[in-house]
Structure 1
Amino acid sequence: MMLWLYLHFPALLLDTLVRDNAVKTPLVVLSHASGQVCQANTQAREFGIQTGNDLGTASALCHGLQVADYDEQAETARLHQLATLLYQVSADIFPYPPDGLLIKVSPMLKLYGSLDNYWHHLLPVLAAESVDYHFALSPFPEAARQLARAGADRGFLTAETTKEALSALGVHGLGLTPKQVLQLERMGIRQASQLFSLPLDSLGQRFGKPLTAHLRGLTESITAQQTSFRPPEHFHQSLELMHEIANSQTLCFPLQRMLKEMEKFLHVREAVTPSIVVVLTQREQEDKVLEISAAAPESAASRWMSLLQLHLEKLKLDAPVTHLRLDANILLPRQSPTQDLFAGKRGQLTPEELVSLMQAKAGKEGVYSLTLQNDHRPERAFRRQLPFEPCQQTLPTHLPARPAVLHTAPRPLFFRPELLTPPERISGGWWDKSPVQRDYFVARNKRGQLCWVFRTATGEWFEHGLFC
């Protein structure tokens, strides 16, 4: 027998606003279509505000009421976030935007062993997200959906108990259209038990086939053809701020929440990301875009937050921020770190983390390493590259002595230095019109320092570097 679980989230947008904005005052979500309160938090309900109240009534009941506009797109995006997290527990998930998820449970029981064990894995995920929900488990997916939407939490139901639970509902709780409910109530049919006691053929003749098809669907064990949920390949999250933020440092709280969501997203995929993009929407001004890169791909929210804070310290806002977006467009598989058993306890920062912090402070171009180039001229024998980038040139096995410090430009000498080695001739550069012909020596200057000097073809002496 197939078993289905339906999760209904009656105030998903409200729960998200409360969590992301740390709201502790009365808050309601207002539907533009009806002009009525469609979601209200606990503090608002304590003032007597209920769903269905108009704005005038709600404002009269609570003078300090906060009001947010209903956004179906934002609520649907949050629903998909929940589906992504639940995907690590259940594979077959069917979203019913904007506030419901239908889950096929039966195939997962082979993995978890029992329904109780499956439920104990599912509950912590929902609890961690601080969302209000109702649920129903039934062999009939549409019945589970309507029972959960009715607000009565139902554990495992058999075919018989499912029909009994449906019979206890009012006709408005069966998922019928408002027109169908009105027609039934005009006939005095207000309870589902009254409706189920009537012959379907007679109902079809009176109310049409759509009504009878819907009633039959309540007791069918298969769901309508619908594409199952697949987690997105990249992380994208938006947040509409309830209050404008004019101080860049104050943005840390909502951004930290978004980074934690990204960390959970990456954890499920065993992935890391080398860079993130933060877009700050300013009131009546162009967006501020922060592109933040790490020296090594990372997933931890705390480490990304430390880099982001350094960027925010330097950021000057042109106007208050009204909206945030966080994107991680490049995902890489997580590599298990190789640890040396005898290395002992290390510092808190790895070399990669240290470089990331330095780049956040000095800029990406301000932190670099050196690599060899295929050129014998000392000042052109190396180039800058990103830290930890593989070297493109192989170091020669027998390299003559080279100084640790190379002067930016050769310094002229007005005397012949004390030479310690035979000459080493370096000649080249004809291909880029910067030819040189020099005889290099290791020498000692008047201060007793070992230095690298050369003589030109015209007999002039220069100091090019110092040995340390």
Structure 2
Amino acid sequence: MRWACLLFPRLALEGALRRRDDPAAPFALLEGAPPRQRIRAANQAARAQGIKPGQPRGLAEALCPELGCAPLEAATVERWRQRLAAWAYAYSGQVSLDYPHALVFEVASSLALFGPWPAFEARLRGELAALGFTHRLVVAPNPAAARVLVNAHDGLAVDETGLEAALGRLPLARSGLAAESVQTLARSGFRRLGELFTLPRPALARRFGSGVMRHLGELRGEWPLALTVYRPAQHFSRSFEFDRPVHAIAGLAFPLKRLLQELSAFLRGQDAGIERFSLVLGLEGGPAQRFEIGLLAPQREAETLLELTRAQLERVRLEGPVLSVTLAASRLTAYAPVRRELLAGPARQAQAWAALHQRLVARLGGAALKPLVEHREHRPEAAVFAAAGPRATDIPEARLRPGWLLAEMPPAEAGIARLLAGPERIESGWWDGDDVRRDYYLAEWHDGRHAWVWREPGGEGFHLHGWFG
């Protein structure tokens, strides 16, 4: 087996920054109770102003008057860990949050689906960068080794043959041993894990206790680990709270992108898609405003979901300043990824039409689009019309017909270069008072276009009725 460990050294800070309108503005997390609050972590803009962890809040605000602050909340950090576990579950069925500040997941069984480790690693890092989380990533034969190696490495991938050498170079302070064990070993002159590996095991256990021996066994994969395996919720619900009210739909774009990225990861983990989800906008001084986002087919790609959601929201008018956005999905559906074709063909054209259809419905609304309904009528101008219902199944026999029929039929004699086919006589409508008797021809225009023209039987002048694509 191979286990990946992701360490998030700035999870609390970056989770808090995701809620801010301007994540690049100076910001710091606080720990402790007033009036003795101190800086726990600060973003780059704050550090550039001289803000450092451990500083009293008063000093930090004196150095940077525009500094934004928020208290560190353990519950909020845990929620972010759960969200990241849901994201990782899309790539592995064995994900664990047993290690603080990190998550581990088994990846050997996923390589056949997501490619060799370098490609898989690049995919994981790209998605984490899009989500906005700093991280370090290591792969090792067991989760305990992966967790301690990520303390000192980023991008390291070791197998069974190189595991002990990689562990041996670790300083004891980064080996995962308890602090008191590290102090005891340091007083005995030990500095690295490799020095402990060279000692006889009975002597090591006698001098430093069973806890040290068990930890070394776990790192080497000799002691089995009983990790708690993460299981995702069956329903998705995420919220984003603004620091200040938002007055325009455009201001919702950034949080919607993040929320839909999380929804996409959740759906991949469930191997499912979605056809409907809800957006609830918490308004200042009024009841919440709710929208149902409906899709024509199951979707789960974040880019597609964002495009369709924004298109539907363009037709919405806010009922007041927005304080929060909640995205919820309670009904999942089966999802079959679209089969990609190397060359253009009917299947690929159908996929393009389906995507265009969905975009038009999202932007204009379902009522604005009407299918062309055909029925058994020989008069061309009455054979096809737009209707609100589904397509008719009573389709006339297939004949050569232009894709574009003109509402008015002007004289066409001057534009015809030659007649290619015809005549085809259409004589119909005597029963409703709109009797027509026409001879239709396929004509080639002087510029090479093909047209559908007609004239009355025995007549001379042609009229243009439509163009072929």
- Is the TM value for this pair above 0.5? yes
Residue in 2 that maps onto 1:174 = 176
Question: Does structure 1 residue 302 correspond to structure 2 residue 307?
Answer: yes
Residue in 2 that maps onto 1:14 = 13
State the AA in 1 paired with 2:7: H
> How many Å separate the matches in 1 of 2:311 and 2:229?
37
Residue in 1 that maps onto 2:437 = none
Q: Deviations over 1:116-175 (max 9, x none)?
A: 455445443334433211233434532431342x35436245343244233x1427x635
1:125 counterpart SS class: helix
Change in Cα spacing, 1:117 to 1:302, as seen in structure 2 (3 Å) is closer
Q: Which ranges of structure 1 fall in alignment gaps of 5 or more residues?
A: 370-384, 396-441, 449-468
Task: Report matched runs for 1:80-99 at 5 Å.
Answer: 80-96=82-98, 99=101
* 1:5–1:105 CA contact under 8 A, matched in 2: yes
Question: Does structure 1 residue 50 correspond to structure 2 residue 52?
Answer: yes
> How many Å separate the matches in 1 of 2:322 and 2:124?
36
Q: Which ranges of structure 2 fall in alignment gaps of 5 or more residues?
A: 372-386, 395-430, 435-469
1:56 counterpart SS class: helix
Give the alignment's TM-score, normalised by structure 2: 0.61
2:324 counterpart SS class: strand
Taking only the aligned residue pairs, the percentage that are identical comes to 24
1:293 counterpart SS class: strand
Change in Cα spacing, 1:296 to 1:135, as seen in structure 2 (3 Å) is closer
- What number of residue pairs does the alignment pair up? 367
Q: Deviations over 1:335-362 (max 9, x none)?
A: 75998479899889845544444448x8
1:63 counterpart SS class: coil
Q: Shift in Å at residue 7 of structure 1? A: 1.3
1:28 counterpart SS class: strand
> How many Å separate the matches in 2 of 1:121 and 1:352?
28
Residue in 1 that maps onto 2:30 = 30
Task: Report matched runs for 1:320-335 at 5 Å.
Answer: 320-332=321-333, 333-334=335-336
> How many Å separate the matches in 2 of 1:133 and 1:223?
27
State the AA in 1 paired with 2:54: G
Q: Shift in Å at residue 307 of structure 1? A: 0.5
Q: Shift in Å at residue 326 of structure 1? A: 0.6
> How many Å separate the matches in 2 of 1:77 and 1:131?
14
Change in Cα spacing, 1:294 to 1:66, as seen in structure 2 (3 Å) is same
2:169 counterpart SS class: helix
* 1:6–1:101 CA contact under 8 A, matched in 2: yes
> How many Å separate the matches in 2 of 1:106 and 1:36?
43
> How many Å separate the matches in 2 of 1:139 and 1:4?
6
Residue of structure 2 aligned with 1:202, choices 200, 204, 207: 207
Task: Report matched runs for 1:149-298 at 5 Å.
Answer: 150-153=151-154, 155-157=156-158, 158-166=162-170, 168-170=171-173, 174=176, 176=178, 180=180, 184=183, 188=187, 193=192, 196=196, 199-204=204-209, 213-214=214-215, 216-221=217-222, 224-263=225-264, 265-266=266-267, 271-283=272-284, 285-294=286-295, 296-298=297-299
Q: Shift in Å at residue 11 of structure 1? A: 0.9
Residue in 2 that maps onto 1:464 = none
> How many Å separate the matches in 2 of 1:71 and 1:386?
53
* 1:276–1:329 CA contact under 8 A, matched in 2: yes
> How many Å separate the matches in 2 of 1:346 and 1:105?
34
Q: Deviations over 1:61-111 (max 9, x none)?
A: 322211233344443443344444444544433234763111334445666
Residue in 1 that maps onto 2:137 = 135
Change in Cα spacing, 1:214 to 1:32, as seen in structure 2 (3 Å) is farther
Change in Cα spacing, 1:190 to 1:326, as seen in structure 2 (3 Å) is farther
Residue in 2 that maps onto 1:78 = 80
* 1:140–1:220 CA contact under 8 A, matched in 2: yes
1:262 counterpart SS class: helix
State the AA in 2 paired with 1:250: G
Residue in 2 that maps onto 1:382 = none
State the AA in 1 paired with 2:97: P
1:170 counterpart SS class: helix
1:316 counterpart SS class: coil
Q: Shift in Å at residue 191 of structure 1? A: 6.7
> How many Å separate the matches in 2 of 1:293 and 1:114?
37
State the AA in 2 paired with 1:70: L
Q: Shift in Å at residue 9 of structure 1? A: 0.4
Task: Report matched runs for 1:332-411 at 5 Å.
Answer: 332=333, 333-334=335-336, 336=338, 340=346, 350-351=356-357, 353-359=359-365
